[in-house]
Amino acid sequence: MHNDIPTYSGGLGVLAGDTIRSGADLKLPMVAVTLMSRKGYFTQQLDSGGKQTELPVLWDPAAYMKLLPHRVTVQIEERDVQVQAWLYSVKSLTGGSVPVFFLDTDLPANAPEHREITAHLYGGGPEYRLKQEIVLGLGGVRMLHALEFEIRKFHMNEGHASFLTLELLNRFKKPVEDVWDEKLVWDKRAVKNLCVFTTHTPVEAGHDKFPYDLVMKVMGEIVPLPLLEELAGRDGLNMTLLALNLSRYINGVAKKHGEVSMSMFPGYEINAITNGVHSYTWTCDSFKKIFDKYLPGWANEPELFVRVGRIPDDEIWEAHMEAKRHLFAYIRQQTGIELLPDILTLGFARRATAYKRADLLFRDLERLEAIGTGKLQLVYAGKAHPKDMAGKRLIQNIFDYKEKLKDKIRIVYLTGYNMDIALKIVSGVDVWLNTPLRPLEASGTSGMKATHNGVMNFSVLDGWWIEGHIEGFTGWSIGPAPQELTPGADADARDAEDLYHKLEHETIRIYYTERHTWIRMMQNAIGKNAYYFNSHRMMRRYVTEAYLR
């Protein structure tokens, strides 16, 4: 919801915030439910070699939200656990508002271990996660009921909330009417009609699975075990499967991701609604100023970006240079390193995890040196999950390259990647680099933020970029066309080769010798990419294609 409310880790959480902000702007009748994460995700510390350590985040919910008097109960390990809710209101300048309920078990009435259930985001093992999902799914529906909301559609973002379907199943439990179909006792159709499910990643770790003995011990037989096995899988409770089986409308978050999800879960009709970002949130001050001047109303009607051609070239360039100076001032302050505003600067900031291949650019150091010496600067940022050893290694590798290239290519790695730093980087670099291993980037959203600030994408054809990319027009691709479904063993080598080739012959050349073409491309990033990849368009799609069905 906010940079200083540390209840997010990366793209999924930021997207949830953008979804709600657009919902408020568009005055949609919606409410949101999440967990408190009183101890946040973590504060990142990096030593001089790039070794990450994690510190707990201390924050005070009362500074941002209001505790409500309502209490609901869920059963965990056959004991009552009380759940309370904090209200955070997202208010739009349009007059719309969306309440967000942060569920919290930190109550004196609860056993000490139960008070901790809503403490950590992505902390602990499967048992801890299971307890959190009970609070979110079952506790969430009960809380909405206690608050007297009548919900016409439940939208589960990722499988984390799928236990809400079990609460609904119990609510719609009916005596047998049709003797031919005894399963009508559990009115699955009624539940399905109420539910929408969005899957957000093809990465296996994003799909929670629990053994049934654990489920029985922690949650108990909330619906009969055979029914649960039928809905959530026989060899373990799969949260994604549960949501798939009890949702009328299902979607992935980009067209390609919809197809990839269909092959992961054969037999389900999986649609696609491509993600977007909240335009006002992800536009830096200097661009806000020129958009206000030439495209008044753009923030609540991003379609107005189609008229970006009205903005004079020199004003676009000046707005960009202002953002660049702003970023460089921040870099100087955080790292002491001085970057030069006239040098082409590439940005790469995202979760440090193997499939995103943050080190692809360094595959051939000599080549990079030959292409980039004196012509290139690099800005990196990103946290690795505390248990992701490969991700942590990646950060250290980049620190090593930084040292090796010291006198030739200036490289900075910013500590503590968060929403504030994200906006500074996506608006303050010249090009946004993205090198995931296909097809693992379901959508990606940071590149969409870049386009709102006239920053072009230079990216592997995966996720949203397959839809946003026009070669040499909105940016550049890296590697083969997306039709090749699975990358071969030589994917790294091929992608790196293409990356170096285009960096030298397109990106660097145009930046230094064809400023006019460059500014045209900046305009295209805004007029063709930001125009479409915003969360207002996304929410209108959800309303007409999913919610009103």
Ligand X SMILES: *Cc1c(COP(=O)(O)O)cnc(C)c1O
Told to check if 418 binds ligand X by CB under 6 A, we report: yes
Do the beta carbons of residue 300 and residue 25 sit within 8 Å? yes
Judged by CB under 6 A, the stretch of 104-112, 246-254, 415-423, 499-507 that binds ligand X is: 415-423
Give yes or no for residue 281 binding ligand X (CB under 6 A).
no
Position among 5, 6, 7, 14 found at the interface with ligand X (CB under 6 A): 14
Which one among 137, 302, 372, 444 touches ligand X, defined by CB under 6 A?
Answer: 444
Pick the stretch among 9-17, 72-80, 138-146, 535-543 that binds ligand X (CB under 6 A): 9-17
Q: Does 452 bind ligand X (CB under 6 A)?
A: no
Nearer to ligand X, 294 or 355 (CB): 355
User: Three-state SS for 20?
Assistant: helix
User: Among residues 62 and 205, whose Cβ is nearest to ligand X?
Assistant: 205
CA distance to 41, 301, 328, 336, per residue, from 49 (Å): 23, 46, 22, 16
From the list 114-122, 235-243, 298-306, 444-452, the region that binds ligand X by CB under 6 A is 444-452
CB of 445: closest distance to ligand X in angstroms? 5
Q: Is the distance from CB of 329 to CB of 362 less than 8 angstroms?
A: no
CA distance 16 to 412: 29
Burial class (CB in 10 A: 0-12, 13-18, 19+), 524: buried
Judged by beta carbon, residue 401 or residue 533, the one nearer ligand X is 533
Q: Nearest 5°: CA angle at 477, between 476 and 479?
A: 145
Q: Is 191 exposed, middle or buried (0-12, 13-18, 19+ CB in 10 A)?
A: buried
Binding mask 348-377 for ligand X (x = CB under 6 A): --x---------------------------
- Angle (CA) 443 445 451, round 5°: 120
- Counting every residue written for the chain, the total comes to 549
CA nearest to 391, candidates 205, 187, 151, 124: 205
Q: Which residues contact 234 (CB under 8 A, 6 or more apart)?
A: none
User: Do the Cβ atoms of 289 and 510 come closer than 8 Å?
Assistant: no
H or E segment and range at residue 132: helix 126-134
The minimum distance between CB 330 and ligand X, in angstroms, equals 15
* Region from 100-108, 229-237, 438-446, 539-547 binding ligand X, contact rule CB under 6 A: 438-446
Contact 256, 482 (CB under 8 A): yes
**Per-residue contact track with ligand X, 16 to 55, x per CB under 6 A?**
----------------------------------------
Question: Site for ligand X (CB under 6 A): which residue of 44, 445, 474, 507?
Answer: 445
The alpha helices in 405-547, defined as continuous H runs, are 419-428, 446-451, 465-468, 491-502, 509-513, 515-524, 535-541
Q: How many CB atoms lie within 10 A of CB 394?
A: 22
**Secondary structure of 424-462 in HEC code, one letter for each residue:** HHHHHCCEEEECCCCCCCCCCCHHHHHHCCCCEEEEECC
Q: Does 479 bind ligand X (CB under 6 A)?
A: no
Site membership for ligand X, residue 137 (CB under 6 A): no
Question: Which of these segments, 28-36, 257-265, 360-368, 441-449, binds ligand X (CB under 6 A)?
Answer: 441-449
7 binds ligand X (CB under 6 A): no
Please say which residue, 401 or 465, places its beta carbon nearer to ligand X.
Answer: 465
User: Minimal distance in Å, beta carbon 162 to ligand X?
Assistant: 22
Nearer to ligand X, 37 or 445 (CB): 445
**Which amino acid would we find at residue 483?**
Q
Helices 491-502 & 365-372 angle (0-180, nearest 10): 10
* Minimum distance of ligand X from residue 323's CB (angstroms): 16
Phi, psi angle pair for 167, to nearest 5°: -60, -40
How many residues sit in the footprint of ligand X (CB under 6 A)? 13
Nearer of residues 348 and 401 to ligand X, judged by Cβ: 348
Q: What is the DSSP letter of 204?
A: G
Per-residue x/- track, 484-523, ligand X (CB under 6 A) = ----------------------------------------
Instruction: Specify the residue, 44 or 446, whose C-beta has the smaller distance to ligand X.
Output: 446
**Residue from 352, 398, 411, 422 in contact with ligand X (CB under 6 A):** 422
Q: Which long-range contacts (CB under 8 A, 24 or more apart) does 479-488 make?
A: 479/438, 482/256, 482/438, 482/439, 484/438, 485/439, 486/438, 486/439, 487/437, 487/438
* Residue 215 Cβ vs ligand X, minimum distance, rounded to whole Å: 31
Q: Which CB sits closer to ligand X, 121 or 232? A: 121
What is the rounded CA–CA span in Å between residue 508 and residue 438?
25
- Binding region for ligand X (CB under 6 A) out of 79-87, 224-232, 406-414, 440-448: 440-448
From the CB of 529, what's the least distance to ligand X, in Å?
14
- Which of 10, 137, 159, 372 is in the footprint of ligand X by CB under 6 A? 10
Applying CB under 6 A, the span of 46-54, 262-270, 439-447, 511-519 interacting with ligand X comes to 439-447
CB closer to ligand X, 260 vs 422: 422
Question: Binding residues for ligand X, per CB under 6 A?
Answer: 10-11, 14, 350, 417-419, 422, 444-447, 449
